[in-house]
Amino acid sequence: MAQLNMIFPDLIFQIFIQPPAALAVVILIIKFVPEICHKGDFLFNLAVKIKVISLAKQLFFQKGLIEAGCDEAGRGCLAGPVVAAAVILPPRFNKKLVDDSKILSADQRDEAALIVKKKAIAWAIGVVDHIEIDKINILKASIKAMHLAVAQLATTPQLLVIDGNYFIRYPGIPYKCVVGGDALIASIAAASILAKTHRDKLMQDLHLQYPHYGWDHNKGYATAIHREAILEHGISPFHRRTFGSVSDYIQMEIFEEVADI
């Protein structure tokens, strides 16, 4: 049911924009006959498939406003910064040129990033490093990175559209959170592409200094190769000391030091 609760606001949002009958039926079943949903994932999976297949990506969340899509990259990594982007697209932007960065290849992302930077009314990047992440936690760091990106926009937006389900309001600008927004709203998809490509470049540069961890491929995520490299070579200055395998390694080192005393 947790999955259903997360997707339901998305489905309601979509039905008002483009209401296919099949999706309406799914929403009504989920809303008014919730006990059926406990019997399996069929309805949830059906809702997801209809959402992805039946609905075209929307260019804007609300037409008539200067709208900035915001997304981040690197939230779940063991190393490196979290990077966010804010993008204001023009009214006639071809939404087919962008997609959720996670389903594009590296070459497709690079090409799309060039298009977004060329066509966007305004775009900006915000970066919060690993040290700040460890100090304030990754959720606050992700939101801070988005705030930094918004603050650098050459054009002030009238609405921020945020990928996810939580945000801290940026002073003076209303916002709307959209779960799975990078697959639904073109401006968020554009932001996801800029955030991802910018962070990938940063991690590729760090890989040249610390090649043991495979950051040129895993970009700091907790792959088996990355975790094994931490055990073999220790942690780098760019690892997030409060995260998973990194924290476990630090605790293990402390335990061994105490045992040697």
Predicted confidence (pLDDT) at residue 5 exceeds the cutoff of 50? no
pLDDT digit string (tens) for 60-97? 888 889 999 999 999 999 999 999 999 999 998 988 77
Predicted confidence (pLDDT) at residue 117 exceeds the cutoff of 50? yes
What is the per-residue pLDDT for 53? 35
CB contact set of 127 (below 8 Å; sequence gap of 6+): 81, 82, 83, 84, 145, 148, 198, 202
d(CA 61, CA 119): 19
pLDDT digit string (tens) for 122-168? 999 999 999 999 999 999 999 999 999 999 999 999 999 999 999 99
d(CA 248, CA 227): 10
C-alpha torsion sign, points 149, 103, 133, 200: negative
Residue 145 to residues 19, 47, 67, 106, 114, Cα–Cα distance (Å): 34, 32, 18, 23, 21
What is the per-residue pLDDT for 260? 45
Give the mean pLDDT of 195-206: 98
Write out the DSSP string of 114-154: HHHHHH-SEEEEEEE-HHHHHHH-HHHHHHHHHHHHHHT-S
Q: Which of 78, 65, 2, 7 is nearest to 38 (CA)?
A: 2
Residue 115 to residues 68, 80, 109, 251, Cα–Cα distance (Å): 16, 26, 10, 45
Q: Taking the model in full, what pTM does it have?
A: 0.76
